[in-house]
Amino acid sequence: MSVPAIETRGLVKRFGSTAAVDGIDLDIAQGGIYGVLGPNGAGKTTAIRMLATLLRPDAGEARVLGHDVFTEPKAIREKIALTGQFASLDEDLTGIENLMLLGRLLGYNARQAKVRGMTLLDAFGLTEAAARQVKKYSGGMRRRLDIAGSLIVTPQLMFLDEPTTGIDPRSRNQVWDIIRTLVAGGTTILLTTQHLEEADQLADRIAVIDTGKVIAEGTPGQLKAQVGTGALKVRVADPARREEAAAILGRTLRAEVLRESDPAALTVRLEDESRAAAALIALQDSALAVETFALGQPSLDEVFLALTGHKTAPEATDGATADAQEEAA
């Protein structure tokens, strides 16, 4: 059995009187993707920065790939790569210059660093942008270059702090593909995200963090079982027939139907997603025109509500709503 990728006990970091990370215990095995899910300000970035030896913990213990963060930071730095929340790139430099810079620091000579940089740019589809300054890159291109920069030498453990925040859905899918590819290549990945969908898509295990504490930990399936499978959102074409639709849904799904503030919208908590098809057929049989019929995963909001009994911070709520809309569209 190999050493764990990450092992922490009672990890604490305070900024002034507030504890950004307030006693976190993590046990993360090597291999696969571990997701850290939480709203803005939950302490995700602070935790990652401590594990990546950028920030000294105030209390607790942490070992990364078997090395103590307090006494062996250099050994850790030799095995990890970090992709920060805001692109960890030099915006004034070009794409190839960024990779050459990192290549030379990691021990390649100038010529080798250039070859290595061009190889990576090619693999990430950035050859044409090689000589362009990074500040002129799109969000998706930046992310890819950022990840390429973490792969000059293959890290044993890679930290990805909100890798898809602020990029469009197509680039997001590309980044997801890249992440899966890296894991297949044997790298362990720790990624943070604000979106349950992202954690669900990628992670083998998830820790949910709120106000500096781990409030739930497990496989995506275990977490979702705690929250309930999801929700069916229906919007009828004619608001006048909403009650009729509510009755049909209630009958076919045997669940409580919530009337939204939108006079045409209904939401049903689902115990069993497979019954949703039967509900759609029942509506059709009654000649009820439906504008929207969407089966959604519980949003981060709902996960939080279920796990903590309180709502997420306003910023995170916005993000979750935007995602729900994206899914419905």
CB of 242 to other proteins, least distance (A): 39
DSSP H helix total and E strand total for the chain = 12, 14
Phi-psi region of 10 (alpha: psi -120 to 50; beta: other; left: phi over 0): left
Is 99 or 279 the residue whose CB approaches other proteins more closely?
A: 99
Tokens of 146: 């950022």
Binding site for other proteins (CB under 8 A): 15, 49, 52-56, 74, 77-78, 80-94, 97, 101-102, 104-108, 112, 119-120, 122-125, 133, 149, 151-154, 156, 173-174, 177-178, 180-182, 184-185
Beta-carbon count within 10 A of 172 CB: 20
Nearer to other proteins among residue 122 and residue 326 (C-beta): 122
Sign of CA dihedral 134, 137, 143, 148: negative
**Minimum gap (Å) between residue 285 Cβ and other proteins:** 37
Shortest Å distance, C-beta 71 to other proteins: 14
Contact 38, 14 (CB under 8 A): no
Say if residues 61 and 8 touch (Cβ distance below 8 Å): yes
Rounded to the nearest whole angstrom, what is the least distance from the CB of residue 289 to other proteins in the complex?
33
Q: Which helix (H) or strand (E) holds 13?
A: strand 6-15
Q: How far is the CB of 43 from other proteins (least distance, A)?
A: 13
Q: How far is the CB of 325 from other proteins (least distance, A)?
A: 24
What span, in angstroms and rounded, lies between the C-alpha atoms of 20 and 152?
A: 32
Beta carbon of residue 106, minimum distance to other proteins (angstroms, whole number) = 6
User: For other proteins, which is the closer residue by CB, 175 or 206?
Assistant: 175
Tokens describing residue 59: 């209390």
Amino acid at 175: V
The CA-atom distances, in angstroms, between 158 and each of 1, 5, 84, 127, 290 are 20, 10, 11, 24, 45
- Structure token pair of residue 33: 């993707």
CA dihedral 91, 92, 97, 102 (to 10 degrees): -50
Nearer to other proteins, 55 or 305 (CB): 55
**How far is residue 297's CA from residue 201's CA, in Å, rounded to a whole number?**
12
- In order of 160, 162, 203, the CA distances from 223 in angstroms are 22, 20, 12
Minimum CB distance to other proteins, residue 6 (Å): 15
Beta carbon of residue 253, minimum distance to other proteins (angstroms, whole number): 35
Residue closer to other proteins by CB (options 65, 257) is 65
Of 24 and 80, nearer to other proteins (C-beta) is: 80
Nearer to other proteins, 124 or 137 (CB): 124
Output 162 or 302, the one with its CB closest to other proteins. Answer: 162
- Of 136, 213, 141, the closest CA to residue 171 belongs to 141
Closer residue to other proteins, CB minimum distance, 85 or 229? 85
Query: What does the alpha-carbon distance between residue 10 and residue 103 come to, in Å, rounded to a whole number?
Result: 36
